[in-house]
Structure 1
């Protein structure tokens, strides 16, 4: 039995928003760790919460990963919230094609 899909919108209650932030931040960092181990890739994750508190995860040295990022000049994949929403608004076939494309990217690392 799968989980119920939730509506993605800002959580109005401050306490619930903080609890959700803490749980999802941990989950995101865990996924980043797993991806770095499974695919042998470098990951840098930077999060600022609503009060501008910094949280970071790096699979190796954060400064080295950020330096590598700033010096990188080749074309690369970049996504924003708008890009993610547009993919979500597509047809089921579009979503399957996008999943196949993204899955291929993960195997390339």
Structure 2
């Protein structure tokens, strides 16, 4: 058996070129990043803290504080991971609140 190919004169979704991405006359294109740089820096800082904090805590406290007891050192490392995570959440909430306060202040000054 053979199969027939259906030839359509219409363009497919991928072939259509209806959208013009060029800015209109007198408009500037928006080249600002989608995420501000300070947010990326905070994320990178907390990522490094999430890696170095618990691992460093484990190895430092293993022999110095707990005398070779890996259970206590591991538990403290897990607690440190949770401390870093809670710290990131607190910083994120404060940043979100400060953005809302700035928007409210601009709106109040605009009236």
Q: TM-score, normalised by structure 1?
A: 0.27
Determine which structure has the larger strand proportion and give its number.
1
Q: TM-score, normalised by structure 2?
A: 0.26
Radius of gyration: which is bigger? 2
Determine which structure has the larger helix proportion and give its number.
2
